[in-house]
Amino acid sequence: MNRFPALVLLLLAFSSCNRTLLTRNTPPCKFRLTQQALLLANKRWQEVSIEARRLSDGAMPNTKDFKDVTGQFNPSDLDDVAIFDAKGTYVFDEGPVKARPESPQVYEKGTWCICKGGSQLILTNGPAITVYDIIELKEQSLVLQLQRSNEDIADTYLLTYQPF
């Protein structure tokens, strides 16, 4: 059995009910309501595409190496919503379809900020810090890149969201 799809399910921060936050040793940034932050704030962002790439040690990245894995997720995962408010807090909401009826509607909340000259989105949930590279942030689209390295394997995810 190919373990890559199962790994993707476990690692994606915005697309599963049970969150495994991926962290880097990055200090939290201070929230500022910049023009870029205003593009993200006060919208309900829903994931529309998930792409994954795995590189072994020494392999050179290529954008063609990404594989669309959106279809491997349950509808109850894909209708989840990320909401970022203009005060620097966020919530992950289950959306209309829950995998388990007993699951809380809001299953994660914390603080957010955009830093590194607008190139990173940082989510802080208690002691966990998740760092996303911002590939695109426009009025109607958000594309984030999440990297995860383990020994000689590097996984990269492209997560595309649209407001609704």
Q: What is the pLDDT of residues 27-56, one digit of tens each?
A: 568 899 999 999 999 999 999 999 998 765
Question: What percentage of the chain carries pLDDT values higher than 90?
Answer: 55
CA distances from 54 to 28, 39, 65, 143, 145 (A): 27, 30, 8, 18, 13
CATH level 3 topology of 4-163: Lipocalin (2.40.128)
96-117 as b/e: b if 16+ CB within 10 A: eebeeeeeeeebbebbbbbbee
Asked whether residue 67 carries a pLDDT value surpassing 90, the answer given is: no
Least confident residue range of 63-67, 100-104, 160-164 = 63-67
DSSP alpha helix (H) spans, the chain: 4-11, 35-40, 75-78
pTM of the model: 0.77
